[in-house]
Amino acid sequence: MAVNVALRGVSRRYPGLIALDKVDLEVAPGEAVVLTGPSGSGKSTVLHVTGGMDRPDEGSVEIDGKELLPRDLDGHRRRIGFVFQRFHLLPALTVLDNVLAPVLPRRVDFDRRERGMELLEAVGLGGRADALPAELSGGQQQRVAVARALINRPGLLLADEPTGNLDSVIGREIIDLLMSLREQYGMTMIIATHDPEVAANGDRVVRLQDGRITSNQRITASADVLDRLGGLRP
Ligand SMILES: Nc1ncnc2c1ncn2[C@@H]1O[C@H](COP(=O)(O)OP(=O)(O)OP(=O)(O)O)[C@@H](O)[C@H]1O
């Protein structure tokens, strides 16, 4: 089920620099928020802190109103999906086994193969379960990565430059896919991107600069209008 996410006064510091500076951000259940901003502005850090891969130095992350505590992090990470710019598929495993990889070492209360096949169908690759990643195009590999991200039925999907390694037509297909899966499976989404096309397809665009939110706008305009107005490019 789609979750509510809230970052409250989140700061993350590294020696000599502030990656996030008291960031407040609330994302409603089922909402798709797009993070934009120049390189180094803190987009990935927001995703990592939200996903429990990194910890704030100050402030808190709340999921459905409950603060994420260190002891909850393992469970939290299993309840979210993560899609990366580089697909990070395991080259020696088949497409189906890549989708199942997150749950292979664990006991689960569902039929792995059945769910893996269902997800491959959902991303349009039902016929390629036995292929190896190298036999697929980049767009198809990203579809496999999306299916893998959904294997635990996450209520939250985090995506870091999901179209960054794809040409614009294929990137567009991946965005359409993510948006339709969001409705089909009921997920909240946070997507970091430099791609104005992605931004135009979210519900809200949050722009970061030097670790701070400089604008937070609902989407009503098309990509090129947004690009002209907001300067979404790095
Ligand atoms: N492990 C780390 N150690 C030191 N500094 C880091 C580390 N991770 C991130 N940073 C710094 O924190 C700042 C924010 O980085 P972040 O990756 O969140 O930016 P970004 O907006 O995602 O950039 P990009 O668009 O290039 O991916 C940058 O200045 C980065 O160099």
ipTM greater than cut 0.85: yes
Tokens of 233: 């490019």
- Give the Cα separation of 2 and 68 in Å (integer): 16
Using CA positions, which residue lies closest to atom 25 of ligand 1?
39
| Residue 141 phi, psi (nearest 5) | -65, -40
Q: Is the CB of 23 under 6 A from ligand 1?
A: no
**What structural domains does the chain harbor?**
28-44+72-230 (3.40.50.300)
Q: How confident is the model at residue 100 (pLDDT cuts 50, 70, 90)?
A: very high
**Most ligand 1 atoms within 8 A of CB, residue of 14, 86, 206 to mutate:** 14
Q: Is the CB of 14 under 6 A from ligand 1?
A: yes
Tokens of 7: 């970052």
pLDDT at 227 > cutoff 80: no
- pLDDT 10s digits, 37-83: 999 999 999 999 999 999 999 999 999 999 999 898 988 888 899 99
Ligand 1: distance of its center to the CA of 1 in Å?
30
pTM of this structure: 0.91
For the chain, counts of helices (H) and of strands (E):
8, 10
- pLDDT 10s digits, 6-32: 999 999 999 999 999 999 999 999 999
